[in-house]
Amino acid sequence: MRFFVVLTIVFLNLFCSPTVRNNSPIDNTCKNFLLSLYNESYNKALSSMDNLFIDAVDKPELDSNLRFISVKLRNDYEAGIKVSLISYEKTIHEGLPATFLIYKIESRSKFGYYFFYINDQTEKILLVSEFSRIKDKRIF
């Protein structure tokens, strides 16, 4: 099983486009969004979102959703989180050229995954959601 995970990571690193590697604009958008929400910086998180998403949601609902994700991140993970790009794929979302990305969020004892759709034209978030329920790490 470990061999498969290592092989997958090597494969992803070899064949990922340089535009979505660590610290690329798209990668930074996703990471900064999660870290901003974790730190309750709602305006900074909102600046990462595409206007198509913002315009489709009522302002009070958007603010409520951002606060909900923020509280969930802080409750699910103890002090401090690390956000890592796991995978991405160029695709179409709502008729727009987009990039689908999966991120691992982890703390010392927990981990989970979030996915994003990024508008390739604006490099801003069209959609973000939790990918799986939070899991406990096996500590030896």
Residues in the chain, total: 140
Q: What is the mean pLDDT of the chain?
A: 84
* CB 116 within 8 Å of CB 88: no
Question: What is the C-alpha to C-alpha distance for residues 119 and 96, in angstroms, rounded to an integer?
Answer: 7
pTM of the model: 0.79
Q: Look at the domain 2-136 and name its fold.
A: Nuclear Transport Factor 2; Chain: A, (3.10.450)
The residue extents of the domains of the chain are 2-136
| The two three-digit tokens of residue 7, written as one number | 């092989």
Q: What is the pLDDT of residues 20-76, one digit of tens each?
A: 666 788 999 999 999 999 999 999 999 999 998 888 888 888 889 899 999 989 999
DSSP string covering 75-122: HHS-S--EEEEEEEEEEEETTEEEEEEEEEEE-SSEEEEEEEEEETTT
